[in-house]
Amino acid sequence: MSTWGWRSHFYGLAPLGWALQAAGHEVRVASHPALVPAITAAGLAAVPLGADLDFAEAFAGRIGAVGALDGAARTAEPVDAVEPAITADGGVVRFADALLDDLVTFGRDWQPDLMVWEPFNLAAAVAAAALGVPGVQHLWGPDSSVTLRLDPEEVLGPLAGRFGLAATDVDLTGGLTLDPVPPPMQVPMTRPGLPVRYVPYNGPAVLPSWLHRPPRRPRVCVTAGTMMAGAGLSDRLGLPRVIRAVAGLDVEVVVLVERAQQAGLGPMPGNVRLVDGPLALRLVLPTCAALVQQGGAGTTMTALGLGVPQLILPQVSDQHFNGERLALTGAGTWLAPERADDDTLRDLVGQLIGDGPWRDAAASMRDRVRAMPTPAEVVPALVALAAHPRS
């Protein structure tokens, strides 16, 4: 397995790593040295390779409100919108460049039978081509790559050329794509794919005593995920105002944010609980009536799999895309920043926590997720793929 850039990119791979390992296969997770703690905490063997990059610095000024692909449709774009594209000088390529050479060298020494990677992992796709190894892309949520512009010659050509390959020799999605998203949220694909159940994993966790018992009134979780803080963009969400708006309802508000973000929240109402400690989203959401979040793939899929209605307040990157896909299911909705005033927020969250169509749709999507094959059940298909190496 290969993962890049940020720990939430790895989290979606962990359950498949467990399944492969439990079936008796040797699993190694190759990544930048900074991701070693996240990988080893999940019980998988880490292979530190290449150099570390600062995530915030690499994507500074390059993560914005994603603009429309059709130039004629850009009249209503936010002023800070950026073109959805992977470019040769962008952060995705910089992270690939920092990992690629060592990844290929390790692959030549260890000689894997199969490579698995997550979206936008260019280094893994190039390495699989250089090693002649079958590849599998494991999506972490709705496939937002359909919104991106990518020029293979410009982006992949220089990376592939290091190993005597052309851009056309590299398949970014591998020979098989594992898709954890059920319809109608799923993005239809034209390439070979298999469904796989989304098993929530959000890192190490400790169950606190206040989660031993059901809440006395509806509980609403508010979170900003991990990527926003990692990219230095946590202030975009206006989290203190969002929390106070939700706290205006007769609810208990549980706030999950990076520890460094807590100091900037300021005084909070008495019905707000700021969580301090390694509390994973998958542990608190089963006790919640609703989730208010930024729209990251891991957060969105965790709530989907647990049947919790959600409100997405998208700010950057694929968050808008995830919000639009979620809205198709009826299990939640999204609000553009300019529409997310306090009254609208409270009204929507009040609807989400009630017994009604939002909750019914969320339960339906949870059942669809649970009906999908588990990671253990897709292992035989990966073994079959590994048995037929590429030429």
Binning pLDDT at 50, 70 and 90, where does residue 236 land? low
pLDDT higher than threshold 90 for residue 208? yes
Binning pLDDT at 50, 70 and 90, where does residue 73 land? very low
Q: What is the pLDDT of residues 330-363, one digit of tens each?
A: 999 999 877 889 999 999 999 999 999 999 999 9
Eight-state DSSP code of residue 329? T
What is the per-residue pLDDT for 65? 56
Separate counts of helices (H) and strands (E) for the chain = 17, 14
CATH class label, 209-370: alpha beta
pLDDT higher than threshold 50 for residue 67? no
| AA identity, residue 292 | V
- What's the CA gap between 2 and 344, in Å, rounded? 42
7-197+372-386 shares its CATH topology with 209-370:
yes
What is the per-residue pLDDT for 302? 97
Q: What is the DSSP string of 200-255?
A: ---S-----GGGSS--SS-EEEEE-TTHHHHTT-GGGG-HHHHHHHHHTSSSEEEE
**19-to-107, 117, 175, 262 alpha-carbon distances in Å:** 22, 15, 20, 36
Q: What is the DSSP string of 35-86?
A: GHHHHHHTT-EEEE-S----HHHHTTTT--PBPPSSGGGGGG--TT-B--EE
2, 127 in Cβ contact below 8 A?
Answer: yes
For the chain, the average pLDDT equals 91
Among the ranges given (62-71, 119-128, 222-231, 299-308), the one the predictor scored with the smallest mean pLDDT:
62-71
Residues 6+ apart with CB under 8 A from 206: 277, 278, 279
Locus of tokens 């962008």? 90
- What's the CA gap between 189 and 143, in Å, rounded? 9
Percent of the chain at pLDDT > 90 equals: 78
**212-to-208, 251, 372 alpha-carbon distances in Å:** 7, 18, 29
Which residues partner with 252 through β-bridges? 219
Q: What is the mean pLDDT of residues 56-69?
A: 61
Domain edges within the chain: 7-197+372-386, 209-370
CATH fold of 7-197+372-386 reads: Rossmann fold (3.40.50)
209, 338 in Cβ contact below 8 A?
Answer: no
CA atoms within 13 Å, Cβ hemisphere of 191: 16
> pTM value?
0.92
